[in-house]
Amino acid sequence: MRDRPQSGHRNDSRAAGPSSSPHQSSALIHFDGVSRTYVHGHVRALCGISLRIEPEDYVAITGPSGSGKTTLLYLAAGMDRPDSGTVLFEGVSRDKPGEWTRLRATRIGFVFQSFQLIASLTAAENVELPMLGVIAGERKRRARAAELLERVGLGHRRIHRIAELSGGEAQRVAIARAMANSPSVILADEPTGNLDSQTANQILNLLEDLRMGEKVALVMVTHDAPIAERARRIIRLHDGQVVSEELRKEPA
């Protein structure tokens, strides 16, 4: 069973800083003593996590199933909230759901293992969706979607519906969608988990090329050691705690 957050009671009495209050942190994302439990506090997902994701960082979050990997990623995107501690984005505590919604629309790209695309829409229409309300003008949105699909090697498939695409092609569409509004970080939850090894390698190369070309941070959850070893930093979780962190030299 994957460690995706489950529904359950959360402690709304947690101490938190005021909404949008500044903190002394240069990190892109800063976890400061973050804990998260589910099922009336009986299932501990994270316990006192403190870590920093820097601008243009390349981080792999790894560990066994149930160690808290996906919970950490969801908290980083504001898709879940901690019971205690603070998640800062660009040095600011964001406590209102609307603030995180705006960040996900403009500053955070998310890539899911299961793609989370709308099957009835074309590849281009899926990429355009996050731009609604952010990029004014249908012509500009269409041009941006076409540009991104070209970048991920799917310019020739832009009018095809998702059901007509292979798994690797669908994940490329998902990556293009994540890049739609030029985010500062891509959060990827097991982005190669449903793909064969050759396609998985192509997707990783694509993510790494986009990270370098667009100068974005890449934070990737994976249980696969060889995939994790491609990152600059490897953070290992166990039972909701950071048990080790490794800094690796990036390939030239």
Q: 197-243: per-residue pLDDT in tens? A: 999 999 999 999 999 999 999 999 999 999 999 999 999 999 999 99
Distance CA 112, CA 46 (A): 20
Indicate the pLDDT class of residue 24, thresholds 50, 70 and 90.
low
User: Does any domain span residue 237?
Assistant: yes
User: Does any domain span residue 27?
Assistant: no
Question: What CATH number should be reported for the domain holding residue 118?
Answer: 3.40.50.300
Indicate the pLDDT class of residue 104, thresholds 50, 70 and 90.
very high
User: Does any domain span residue 37?
Assistant: no
User: Does any domain span residue 32?
Assistant: no
User: Does any domain span residue 157?
Assistant: yes
The residue segments making up the domain with residue 111 are 55-70+94-247
Q: Supply the pTM of this predicted model.
A: 0.86
User: Does any domain span residue 4?
Assistant: no
User: Does any domain span residue 98?
Assistant: yes
Number of domains the chain is built from: 1
User: Does any domain span residue 60?
Assistant: yes
Q: Under 8 Å CB-to-CB from 139, ≥6 apart: which residues?
A: none
Inter-residue contact 36 to 198 (CB < 8 Å): no
Among candidates 168, 249, 162, which has minimal Cα distance to 206?
Answer: 168
